[in-house]
Amino acid sequence: MRDTALPAAVAASLLVLAGCQSAERAAARHDADAPAAAVATVAAAPNVVTVHAMDFAFQMPDTIAAGMTTFHLVNDGPGLHHAVIVRLDSAKTPADLEQALKTPGAWPRWAPMIGGPNAVDPHADANATLAMAPGNYAIICLVDLPGGVPHFAKGMVHPLTVAASTGPSAAAPAADEVVTLTDYHFALSTPLTAGSHTFEVQNHAAQPHEVAMIQLAPGKTANDALQWLQKPNGPPPGRVMGGSAPAVPGAPVYFTMNVTPGQYLLMCFVPDPKDGKPHFMHGMMQTVMVS
Ligand SMILES: [Cu+2]
C-alpha cells in the first residue's frame, strides 16, 4: 500500500501546487482590476498626516490626497503650539495670507479656518480628523505665548496642497461625545467620563470657535488659568491637551483624547470681531469635572 500511497501523495501535492499557481494568476488578474473595484468601497481609516511643530516652524508634507484625514500634531517644543488649517479661497496663496495677517483688522474672508489639532503641551501630541477637499491651504499657529507675538509671524506658516483623490475616502469617525459651539457656549451631548473618547465638534454659530482642552492641576482653578494666561510666569496651572482648533461653521471636526479624572477647562481664544476680546472673556469658558 505504501508503494502506491506515496505516488498518490506526490500527485496530490502537485495538484495543490498547480492549484496555487492558478490562484496566484487569478490574484494577479484581480489586482489589475483592483483600482476600479476599490472606488466602490470605503477606505477603512482616514489618511494620517503627521505635523511636527517646533519653535517656530512646521515640518509636514507639502501635498496630501483629498479625503477624510487625521492630522497628528507632535509638539517638539519648547513652546505651546497648535496647527490651524486655513483654506485659501479665491486663488490666494500662503504668502497672501502672511501679508494679510501683518495688517491689523478683520480676518480675511478668503481664508476660513476649518479646524485642526489644537494647542498641546511641548513633547505631547494632539489630533484632529476632518474631510479635506482638493485645494490650497495653509497651516498656521496663532498661539502668542510667551510675549504676545503670534507664532505665524515667527515662521509658523506652512503651505499645504490637497490633491484630488480617485481612491475612497474613509467614513467620518464615530463620535461618542458631541460638542456644540455657539456664541459663547460649549454644550456637551453627554456628561464627560474618564476613558478614551472620540469628540465631534459642531460649530452652530456664525463666527469661528474652537475647543481648547486644559486639564487643571490638582488644587488649581479656572482663575489660576486666567491669571497665568495674562502673565505666563512659572509653570502653567495644568496640562494643555489639544482639542479642535478654530473652525468656521461647516463640516464637523473630530478629535480623540484619553480623558483621565480631574477638572477640565474648555476654552475658546478666538477674538471677537465686535471688540477684539477673546471669546473666553465673553463666557466661552467652561469647567467640566471628570470623576
Ligand atoms: Cu469662540
Q: Where are the domains of the chain?
A: 47-290
Strands 209-216 and 195-203, how do they pair? Answer: unpaired
How far, in Å, is the centroid of ligand 1 from the Cα of 5?
80
- What's the CA gap between 207 and 90, in Å, rounded? 20
Banded pLDDT at 75 (limits 50, 70, 90) = very high
Q: What is the mean pLDDT of residues 212-225?
A: 96
CB 266 within 8 A of CB 279: no
Could you tell me where the DSSP H helices lie in the chain? 2-38, 94-102, 222-230
Q: What is the mean pLDDT of residues 183-190?
A: 98
| pLDDT of the residue at 20 | 39
pLDDT in tens, 113-132: 999 999 999 999 999 999 99
CA dihedral 230, 235, 240, 246 (to 10 degrees): 20
39 alpha carbon – ligand 1 mean position (Å) = 38
**17 pLDDT exceeds 50?**
no
Instruction: Specify the residue for cell string 465631534.
Output: 200
Distance 273 CA to ligand 1 centre (A): 11
Mean pLDDT of 164-181: 94
Whole-number Å distance, alpha carbon 268 to ligand 1 midpoint, is: 5
Q: From the options 1.10.10.10, 2.70.170.10, 2.60.40.420, 3.40.640.10, give the CATH code of 47-290.
A: 2.60.40.420
pLDDT of residue 41: 61
Q: Span 200-204, mean pLDDT?
A: 98
Confidence of residue 42 (pLDDT cuts 50, 70, 90): low
